[in-house]
């Protein structure tokens, strides 16, 4: 009998919680939902915060791999803006009608660097060839299947004829920031990541990098689009304009991005 009473009470309580939960609105009201390539992990939170302060509009940031976002948007993911690290994804979305015609904006050109922790004993100034060193057991890069930074890393290694030697040591991050995290946590001795991440506060403090020559891989052209399904296209446009402001441009450049000229 006691069990029955306990059960009844628990059930009533649960029902109340469920009822309340269902009544409350699900969203923390957002004015803008942005899908951002993970190489923007270091710089975009600051940009978004600035935007919020100046315009009063709330921004929700989701970082991840551009390839994942591309497929999610195809399945109806409700992002307003997509900052892809790969120009190609943006073009395809525009072509298929999932992104607003004419909204494509080339917002940056990215750079890859070789990065390692300060205490790894690996000298990155020697360039990519240091990856062949037996002390380097694991090399972290973004997954080349869907991450442009991963593809660039592979291309650079192939250019220097190091690919076959380094390939068995690869550890793939689902995004370039996860690759960076592998190195930062000590799970990989070194890796090839985005310059913007290396310049970020977390990595800058305890690692060192060396730039991989820009000519050794196809340029990482990063473009943004406004999704056709967006309900906040005006705010999205506002954000893009905000990005073009000289102060913000400078901020991006501080993080290693080159701002291309947009026709």
Partner 1 sequence: MSLTASVHKRLSEHFSLDIDMSAMPGITMVFGASGSGKTTLLRCLAGLVKPDSGCITIGAEVLFDSVRSRSVPVQQRHIGYVFQQLALFPHLSAEDNIGYGLAAMSPELRRQRVKAIAESLHITHLLSRLPDAISGGERQRVALARSLVTDPAFLLLDEPLSALDHATRSRIMDDLRAWNVAHRIPILYVTHSHREVFALGERVIVLDGGKITSDGTPHDVMESPAHETLAQLAGFDNFFDGTVTVRRADAGTMQCRLDGSGTEMEVPLSRGAVESPVRVAIRAGDILLATSEPRGLSARNVLPGRLVSLKREGATVIAGVEAGERFLVHVTPGACESLRLGVGDPVWLIIKTHSCRLVSL
Partner 2 sequence: MDWLAIWLSVKLATIVATILLLIGLPIAYWLTFSAWRWKFLVEAVVALPLVLPPTVLGFYVLVAIGSRSPLGRAWTAWTGHGLAFTFEALVLASILYSLPFAVQPIAASFAQVDGTLLEASSTLGSSRWRTFVRVLLPLSFEGVLAGAVLSFAHTLGEFGVVLMVGGNLPGITRTVSISIYDSVQAFDQAAANQTALLLLAFSFAVLAGVYALRRKSWSVSPL
Residues that bind partner 2 (CB under 8 A): 1, 3-4, 6-7, 10, 14-15, 17-18, 21-22, 24, 26-28, 30, 33, 38, 41, 45, 60-64, 72, 74-79, 175, 177-178, 180-181, 184, 200, 202-203, 229
- Among 1, 12, 23, 205, which residue sits at the site for partner 1 (rule: CB under 8 A)? 1
196 interacts with, out of partner 2, partner 1, none, CB within 5 to 8 A per kind: none
Q: Could you say which residues in the range 4-23 bind partner 1, by CB under 8 A?
A: 4
Q: Which of 258, 122, 251, 249 is nearest to 192 (CA)?
A: 122
For partner 1, the closer of residues 1 and 12 by Cβ is 1
The pattern of x and - marking residues 201 through 240 that bind partner 1 according to CB under 8 A reads ----------------------------------------
Nearest-angstrom CA–CA distance, 125 and 200:
19
Quote the tokens at residue 21.
């939960």
For partner 2, the closer of residues 17 and 246 by Cβ is 17
DSSP E strands: which ranges in the chain? 32-37, 59-64, 81-84, 105-110, 112-117, 139-142, 170-173, 190-194, 207-211, 220-226
Nearest-angstrom CA–CA distance, 192 and 198:
10
200 interacts with, out of partner 1, partner 2, none, CB within 5 to 8 A per kind: partner 2
Nearest-angstrom CA–CA distance, 188 and 135:
11
Angle between the N-to-C axes of helices 246-254 and 44-55, in degrees from 0 to 180, rounded to the nearest 10 = 160
Site residues for partner 1 per CB under 8 A: 1, 3-4
């Amino acid at each position: 009998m006691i069990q029955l009473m306990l059960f009844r009470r628990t059930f009533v309580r649960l029902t109340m919680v469920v009822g309340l939960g269902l009544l409350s609105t699900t969203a923390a009201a957002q004015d803008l939902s942005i899908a951002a390539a993970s190489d923007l992990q270091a710089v975009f939170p600051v940009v978004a915060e600035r935007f919020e302060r100046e315009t009063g509009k709330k921004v929700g940031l989701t970082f991840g791999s551009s390839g994942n976002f591309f497929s999610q948007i195809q399945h109806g993911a409700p992002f307003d803006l997509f900052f892809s690290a790969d120009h190609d994804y943006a073009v395809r979305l525009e072509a298929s009608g999932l992104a607003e015609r004419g909204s494509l904006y080339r917002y940056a050109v990215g750079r890859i660097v070789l990065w390692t922790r300060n205490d790894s004993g690996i000298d990155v100034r020697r360039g990519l060839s240091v990856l062949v060193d037996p002390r380097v057991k694991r090399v972290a890069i973004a997954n080349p299947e869907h991450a442009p930074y991963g593809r660039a890393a592979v291309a650079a290694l192939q250019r220097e004829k190091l690919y076959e030697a380094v390939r068995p040591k690869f550890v793939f991050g689902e995004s370039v920031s996860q690759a960076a995290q592998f190195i930062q946590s000590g799970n990989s001795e070194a890796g090839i990541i985005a310059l913007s991440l290396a310049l970020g506060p977390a990595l800058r403090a305890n690692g060192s990098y060396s730039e991989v020559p820009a000519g050794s891989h196809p340029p990482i052209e990063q473009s943004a689009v406004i999704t056709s399904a967006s309900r906040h296209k005006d705010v999205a446009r506002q954000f893009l304009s905000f990005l073009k402001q000289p102060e913000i441009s400078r901020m991006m450049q501080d993080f290693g991005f080159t701002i291309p000229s947009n026709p």
